[in-house]
Structure 1
Amino acid sequence: MKKILFFLSLSLLMISCNEKQEKPIDDNQLTAEEKSDSTNIKTFFNTALTNGKSYEWLRDLTQNVGGRLSGSPEAQMAVEWGEKVMNEVGLDSIWLQPVMVPHWVRGEKEIATYTTNGVQKNVAICALGFSVATPNSGVLAEVIEVKSLEEAEALGDKMKDKIVFFNRPFDNTLIHTFKAYGGCVDQRVRGAAICGKFGAKGVIVRSMTNSIDDFPHTGTMSYGDLPAEQHIPAAAISSLAAENLSKDLISNPNLKFYFKQNCETLPDAPSFNVVGEIRGSETPENIFVVGGHLDSWDLGEGAHDDGTGVVQSLEVAYLFKKNNIKPKNTIRIVFFMNEENGTRGAKKYAELATLNKENHIGGLESDSGGHTPRGFSIDANSANTTLLQSWKKLLSPYGLHDIEKGGSGADISPLKDENVTLVGYRPDSQRYFDYHHTSRDTFDKVNKRELELGSASMASIVYLMDKYLYGDTPVKL
């Protein structure tokens, strides 16, 4: 009985300590204007957590459309879906913005094997986006393992008729997993361009993930300016397969690796960005963009990448309208097409913005998954960066502690200008690369409450930006 009472007391103490970590805003430390802002921010969170729409929108997108690779029938279904949900929210204007996009198709499921010590091992593998196919009979060759592009380049003609295996893992000492991703992804993007010019038969790359698992991660690659006759097939193998292959190469350095893939690049296809807006009540000529990308890779359902960003962006508009908060400037929601393998949608949007002489003063992008909110990264001039960081006292009670200078997002970055304030929404990233570009990126991996907290977080900073940012002249609180 004493043990039970002890553990009960300990549990209550831990609950009490955890509750104390969520400190409410002290109204005595706020100005009258800040108190009003604090009330509106709280309203955003209350509405998202009790009457939000993002989770069911995401269910509909992922379960009824699924993976949405640019140029595919599913991508077109997603465009139609986007127009439909924007109409449901009741945005003031909705339109489709035409854009031609790349159309790469995976074809039949890839296969890979190798034999060592008399045992054949099947390998979890997937083609990289824009890779060419193998010959119909596949590719069979000895393997050379390297850790970097520089190491591969130094091999020169030694890689002729070989399969080059790039096996540089994430640096798991880095807390920010996107930095670890950035430290490895060059081997996926540029590996085939380097090895093809020296006559390699193919390239296989360790998947871009922190985890050791058997799920291969796809992603885009490029041949650069390499002549077509030097294009070689490129694929990713799972991190577990990479670990095992590396060990087996030590005991059997002459083992031969076989893989076969059937991918193809078709002619560019017509598609659309989906655009809707709430017209500003005072300065409608000033535009804030809020968006994510509608396309996804084909292996999963595109839930975290980037279905969550799309539905959160639309929920920003929903939260404004639901709470009758009228923005001063125009808030434009954009579902960008073709972020994954070309960013054609982003480039077309920026091109048309310039052509139409639109005055964009800010943007927010969600493309880092739907996990627990942590904060925002800021790409802006020093005055506006300082202003955004001053809002931490209003945002930190909701777990938004990280408001730092940094990048924004691939789809809004073409709008970059000294007087345009660009912001990236940053949720916790520790689990993101378990799912990124894999068959595991499915609806069931998204937590409803985390998703809704993200929507409210985004609405809150858009509200503050709309109220206090006017191009290059911030309004002080």
Structure 2
Amino acid sequence: MKSYFIALILLFTGISVSAQDQYINDSLNIRKIYDMSLLNGKSYAWLDHLSNEIGGRLSGSYNAQQAVEYTKAEMEKLGLDKVWLQPVMVPKWTRGEREFAYVQTGPGSTRNVNITALGGSVATPAGGTKAQVIEVQGLEQLAEYGRENIEGKIVFYNRPMRADLIHTFEAYGGCVDQRYSGAKEAAKYGAVGVIVRSMNLRLDDFPHTGSMSYGDTPVDKRIPAAAISTNDAEYLSSILKIQKDLELYFKLNCEQHEDVQSYNVIGEITGSEYPDEIMVVGGHLDSWDLGDGAHDDGAGVVQSMEVLRLFKETGYTPKRTIRVVLFMNEENGLRGGNKYAAVAKEKNEDHVFALESDSGGFTPRGFSITANDTQFNKILSWKELFKPYLIHYFERGGGGADIGPLKGGDIVLAGLRPDSQRYFDYHHASNDTFEQVNKRELELGAATMASLMYLVDKYGLENISNDMVEMPD
């Protein structure tokens, strides 16, 4: 009966019965993908192992190597046409013993505060660093204070993420320069250390790490840098208003080592009709070391693996080569993404589409897409197929850091966009753990990714034609 009514609609709107048949067929195939993911998914079990049996996977660490071996073995079990490791040299930075800090307002009057070293920071002197604090709201304010007010002090960057921005990644982008370049810039004014407000939209006691860079600062001029929890940032800011001569003590024990060899983990199903056209789906295998990297980016890793498993289990034979890439070293170097793109260029591989998941394992909302007008409009023509799954976000935008180096020519880059409102509660912090990931939300994301991959593979993105139409409301 439902098909009869659809046929009537199509008849009166001038859409062919052939288009109707294709729409119904695609709708059923996508339903099969979602059913398989929700009823018989593997992504949550894979994430359980990555998170609870391996844990945080900082580049160059033993855990990162364990993750390489585990995911390679699991992909081999899927019966893919090819699974291999792609060598890549990555930085190795270790945190050392747990960081310690306190605020001193007078002789014998101290309060401990929660901090964590920023990734790539140098250590403090063996006895720690203790100095007065100057609070600024951003890099640009350093020049206003000048060397005379900064030299010998600890710079406290306290510009918060904007809570009024609905797109939380915009809020993150609006203040992450403090973390990345704060130490480099403060050192120019003679600061002895840097404390950065955690990139977090809520008030809590979890300090959030992340990458930072000294740029071309000489090694002997580099100063230690740490993040402070949002609750303690609020405390420090409030007490500074009352007592500007208070002192902050902090001790970091981190160390930068020589680069070590690691690997991107790659598996593929060879295309049945266009094997030289390559479609990539992926996430990054490394994580920070404070939690177990369940949202960032264990979720993206297992969702990407699940895409190929869903194709195998549902019996779908791709026309194009579908390749899953688990990138190493996104967090503190992007070496894996750059290496993959460099090898692809050397081999003159034809990459036509790349999809990345690196925004957490929350409820999927849709995709951000980098494409020309024709390509973007073709993807929009499939939007109605996603409507039953409450997927509505199809917007122009970036695809993701690891697939970014592939940009060029006619390749389309896309990123899964889950609901991001809670993402920065966990991002780069010790509470980014397995129990924070909802099984159903993770599985919905995997199915959503597989559905888009299916449509791109089936119809291509070269042009818009009547082989796929948007169904009327």
Cα distance per residue 1:257-309 (max 9 Å; x no partner):
00000101100000000000011010010000000000000000010000000
Whole-angstrom CA distance in 1 between matches of 2:160 and 2:81: 48
The answer on whether the counterparts of 1:278 and 1:330 sit within 8 Å (CA) in structure 2 is yes
2:292 pairs with 1:297? no
**Map 1:392-403 → 2, pairs under 5 A:** 392-403=383-394
Matched, 1:271 2:229: no
The residue that corresponds to 1:344 in the other structure is 335
Cα deviations by residue, 1:453-475 (Å, 9 ceiling, x for unpaired): 001000000001111225x4455
2:135 is aligned with 1:145: yes
Q: 1:297-337, CA deviations, whole angstroms, 9 ceiling, x for partnerless residues? A: 00000100000000000100011000100110000000000
CA distance in 1, matches of 2:86, 2:56: 21
C-alpha displacement of 1:119? 3.5
Question: 2:214, 2:222 within 8 Å by CA — same for their partners in 1?
Answer: yes
- Write the mapping of 1:24-423 to structure 2, written as runs, cut at 5 A: 28=9, 31-116=20-105, 119-157=109-147, 158-423=149-414
Contact 2:378 2:463 in 1 (8 A): no
1:330-388 Cα deviation digits (max 9, x unpaired): 00000000000000000000000000111000000000000001000001111101111
Q: In the alignment, which residue of structure 1 is the partner of 2:14?
A: none
CA contact (8 A) 2:290 2:428 kept: yes
Partner of 2:447: 456
* Alignment deviations for residues 153-193 of structure 1 (CA, whole Å, 9 cap, x no partner): 33221211000000000110011111110111010001001
Aligned residue pairs, count: 452
Letter in 1 for 2:41: G
Alpha-carbon separation, structure 2, partners of 1:162 and 1:37: 63
Structure 1 residue 242, shift from structure 2 partner: 0.2
TM-score (norm 2): 0.94
Deviation at 1:202, TM superposition (A): 0.3
CA RMSD of aligned residues (A): 1.3
Q: What is the alpha-carbon distance in structure 1 between the residues aligned to residue 103 and residue 368 of structure 2? A: 44
Q: Deviations over 1:219-273 (max 9, x none)?
A: 0000111122211000000000000000000111110000000101100000000
8 Å Cα contact 1:144-1:162 kept in structure 2:
yes
Long gaps (5+) in structure 1: 1-24
Counterpart amino acid of residue 384 in structure 1? Q
Distance 2:349 2:458 in 1: 19
**Residue 15 of structure 2: aligned partner:** none
* Identity value in percent: 58
- Tell me the distance in 2 between the aligned counterparts of 1:332 and 1:475: 26
Matched AA of 1:93: K
How far, CA to CA, are the matches of 1:38 and 1:168 in structure 2? 47
User: Secondary structure of the equivalent of 1:404?
Assistant: strand
Change (3 A) 1:91 1:121: same
Does the 8 A contact of 1:284 with 1:328 survive in 2? yes
Aligned-partner Cα distance in 2 for 1:26–1:413: 41
Q: Is the 8 A contact 1:102 1:267 kept in 2?
A: yes
The one-letter code sitting in structure 2 at the alignment partner of 1:100 is M
1:90 deviation in Å?
1.4
Q: Which runs of 5+ in 2 are unaligned?
A: 11-18, 469-473
TM-score (ref. length: structure 1)? 0.93
Describe the superposition over 1:386-430 as per-residue Cα deviations: whole angstroms up to 9, x where unpaired.
111121111122111001000000000111124001100000001
| C-alpha deviation, 1:85, in angstroms | 0.9
Report which stretch shifted further, 302-311 or 460-469.
Answer: 460-469
State the AA in 2 paired with 1:150: E
Q: CA deviation at 1:32?
A: 1.8
In structure 2, C-alpha distance between the alignment counterparts of 1:26 and 1:184, rounded to whole Å: 50
